[in-house]
Amino acid sequence: MTTGDDVGIRAEMLLADPDGCKFTVERSVHPGGPFAFESVAEAAGSPLVERLFALDGVVHVIVAGSVVNVTKRVDASWAALKPAVAGAIRAHLRSGIPAILEDVQGAGQPRSAAAVRAAVERLVEREVNPSLARHGGRISVAGLQGSTLYVAMSGGCQGCAASSLTLRAGFELMVKRVAPEIAAVVDTTDHEAGTVPYYARFS
């Protein structure tokens, strides 16, 4: 039998938010989700989440399968929090009790569509567009329906031969990191109307 002490946990900083960190555990932490908690009050009755909010600096927790996303206060240090969060997860796994108790799970519900869209828009503005701007391109969120995100490309990305690669190999992976609720990303751009300003320089 695997105990909490034997379980490997990988910590990965979120590209979209320096105050966010993704902890991937070798075994399931809690089935289903993602379940989001934004306060100590919302964490009440969910043992693992209570442990995490007891750590100084933790302000937001998302639990989904074998992944625990933790957001800290701006003034808190990951140097101290990373091992503390991993320790709390291992301690919980040793306890053998559920991470989220379903009978008291009130606020630990999936995030609203507005919250998911806000997380993606932060990613777009902080990480994606500053990079695309070097090539004269831009991505914007066109809509969110269920688990499908609709985006539009403009500038150097509209009609660009590499736009599909940009979307699938880069943007979509980043989106699913900050918003695991999203299952698919659909490009609504009319690429036939693009003038390909970036790649035209190399033709």
Domains, the chain: 4-104 (3.30.1370.70), 113-202 (3.30.300.130)
Q: Which of 34-38, 62-66, 72-76, 192-196 has the lowest mean pLDDT?
A: 192-196
Mean pLDDT value across residues 129-150: 82
The model's pLDDT over 40-60, given as tens digits with 9 standing for 90+, comes to 888 888 889 999 999 999 999
State how far the Cα of 185 lies from the Cα of 139, in Å rounded to an integer. 12
Cα within 13 Å of Cα(128), Cβ side: 26
Nearest in space to 169 (alpha carbons), one of 185, 151, 190: 185
Whether 177 has a pLDDT exceeding 80, the answer reads no
Of 14, 42, 48, 45, give the one whose Cα is nearest residue 30.
48
Q: Would you say the pTM of this structure is higher than 0.85?
A: no
SS3 16: coil
pLDDT-derived band at 110 (thresholds 50, 70, 90) equals: low
Give me the amino acid identity at 117: R
- Band (83; pLDDT cuts 50, 70, 90): very high
Q: What is the pLDDT of residue 22?
A: 93
